[in-house]
Amino acid sequence: MRLEVNTENYYRRLDKFLRNQLKNIPLSTIYKLIRKGKVYVNGKRVRDPSFDLEEGDVVELRYVNVENLPKREKKENLVPIPMQLDVVYESEDYLVVNKPAGIPMHPGKGVHVATLIEGLLYYGEKKGFVPYLVHRIDMDTSGLLLVAKSKEAARVLSQLFREKKMEKLYLTLVKGQPPEKGTIEIPLDGSPAVTEYWLVRSFDEVSFLKVKIITGKKHQIRRHLAGIGYPIVGDNDYGDRPFNREFRKRYGLKRMFLHSYSISFRDPWDNEERSFVAKLSSDLLEVLFLLEKGSTKWLEEFFW
């Protein structure tokens, strides 16, 4: 099968492009095809699901009979659901939303709960647009998310991400005492990945960091910080579960301490510099207050 990437079908990531083109094929099967080296881009085998595509690229499935692949079970279409959205900024082309922790981006398996895309669909119905997610953050991560209001706007904003013209900063609490700053360059999913961090505040057992991702791999911050020995507090997938249990008992943290703090870029439509910030949510601030034993001066200087 040969597929050409164009303006109408463009998605930045390879897995998203294939998911859109192969709507009847389960996503697990698509990832399996990529892992097994059945997917080629411009004649070269690609095993990274997050591989960046450009318009004009040719994607091929080789040595595969698509008709024989498993078929995805039909699911109900997404239904717009009323949701109280914290819209930080909105233009004619995109909006910036401050997502609370605990809300998934898309419906998953098992019991269904309201998801962000369904809330955005409801909001879009009222405003007269169809939302497109430009990037994602984990369910238990809070903070800023950029949402396009048209397919063309999604293509333009995705281009900024691909060209590394979109700066995203996160705030996190990690186990241990890392150096004051560092650059992590551990390959992920078979391709280069780069994360930078700066130490903001040290405590007895944990450290508060500001983190910048240069590339955009799945769970990049979590995997990179765990990879250098400083896992995120509350992260039970890549972190220290016994430590997390004790920390929760002492400080009441019920989720991973990771927050999408700011997004900055030059607006492609009016050429203005944009910078958006979402303050830490109350549950994460409470942990820092307790760690500081009531002193908040540095927090006020940092956030306000």
Q: Which residues are catalytic?
A: 138
Sheet holding 2-4, edge to edge: 2-4, 58-61, 39-41, 44-45
Question: Are 256 and 141 a contacting pair, CB within 8 Å?
Answer: yes
Distance CA 170, CA 5 (A): 32
Identify any residues that bridge with 10 across adjacent strands, giving them in sequence order: none
Q: Which helix (H) or strand (E) holds 249?
A: helix 241-251
- Cβ(283)–Cβ(253) under 8 Å? yes
Please name which of 146, 132, 144 lies closest in space to residue 99, comparing C-alpha atoms: 144
Give the whole-angstrom CA distance, residue 151 versus residue 274.
21
